[in-house]
Structure formats: structure tokens, C-alpha cells
Amino acid sequence: MNRYLIEIEYNGAAFNGWQRQDKDSRTVEGELEDAIFSATGERVTVHGSGRTDSGVHAIGQTAHFDLEKDFDAEKIRLAINYYASGDVVVKSSEKVDGDFHARYDVKRKTYLYRLYLTRERRPLLEGYAANCPYPLDVEKMREAAGKLIGEHDFKCMMSVGSSVKTTVRTIYNIDIEEIGEELYVYVTGNGFLYNMVRIIVGTLVDIGRGKLGLGVIDEAFSTGKRELAGPVMKASGLYLYKVEY
């Protein structure tokens, strides 16, 4: 067997999430597997670094798959892109060891959340960023972000519907960049719970607009109560930005 690692970019608005579902649901995994079959004649299972929900985009998603035949990695990349739609593109491809796993070998992931800060909605940004019409104290948001750095039990920032062994995760860094009328929030961690990044951003936004105080983060961590944290932000503003091994 020959194992290939690919880096993928896709428009999440075009898919019903990452994971292959029924034949009528268009998914990233399904599109890639079909394109690989068209390119190689082999049916494969594509193993992603993680699943993204419907509407969530990716700039640097990664995945691996196995082929019986030995293909040049660059030719595989070009062939997949030929057969796949323009909504998903393989940015790079390389051969890796047979024991490498795109999900289990991940050391860090970075997500990007995009906000645009205007009173009116912007049609050309809708679907790719979330609108926040409220004035935000960005420095207070950065102060709040500092409280999230480190190892914590993020049970209070997880939506129901996920079964995990532990809700403890480590956040290495949160960067908040002001770019014109937009706000980019980068969150890097060793792993994330269901909707965790969208809830982190929702909490930071509510603190920035004065709806929540800084102390809510410590209280949420100590009690584990989901209702203390902010809302789940829209999927359309979220991007899987980078995966590190």
C-alpha cells in the first residue's frame, strides 16, 4: 500500500459538512473519494484530520488515503483536482509512512474566525464571515482571550451531541487581528470540542460588546456551566486554517 497526505482547501457553503453521508448529500469526503476513484480506478477511504460541519470552510484541512498502485504524489494532486469540482482543491500532496494517520498524529490545529464589524450586512461577505453590528472593545477581548490560554476543562464551551473521553484541552494561542472593518480571530490548540471555537469567539464577542464581564470565563471554567459562556457563532465565519504534525 502507498499512503498519501493531502492538504485541502474548500468552500464549506457548497457541502453538507466533511463526512460522507447518504448518496444525496454532497460532502467533502465524498467528493474527494469519488475524484480519487475517477483518477486511479481505486475505491479509497479518505481520513481527514477532523470533521467540519456544514458551512465551515477550510484553508488547510489535511487527510490521508491509501492506494495499491504507486503514483507520483504531484500527479495524484493534479488528477484529483481535474475530477473534483472547484469547490474543493488539493493544494499539496506527498507520500508518507504507512503508519502515519492524518487525525491521530495531529499536534496542533489552528482555526480562523472572521467577523465584519458594520451596522449593515455586506452581501459579498455573507457566507464567508459573520456580521457583528455592535461596537467591540478589542483590547478587552484580547484580555479575555488570555484567560483561555493553557490547559482547561472546556466543558462549558462545548455543544451537546458529542461523546468524548475528556473535555480537557490546551489552547496555545489566540490572536485577534483588526483588518479594516474585519476582525480575524485565530485559535490554536491541541484539539477542539464540538463547536468549541465558535463558542470561544461568541464569548469573546459578548465580552467585547459589554454583555459579559471578564469574570465569566473563570466562573464558567469552575462550574462547567455552558449557559455562562457566549453563543455559538455562525458556521460561515469559521475556517480550518492549519494542521500541524
| Residues with catalytic function | 53
Q: How far is residue 129 CA from its own chain's centroid?
A: 14
| Count of Cβ atoms closer than 10 Å to residue 105 Cβ | 17
Cell (9 digits) for 26: 454532497
Give the integer Cα–Cα distance in Å for 52 and 92.
Answer: 19
CB 73 within 8 A of CB 95: yes
Query: How buried is residue 128: exposed, middle or buried, by Cβ count under 10 Å (0-12/13-18/19+)?
Result: middle
The partner residues of 168 in beta bridges, in order of sequence, read 153
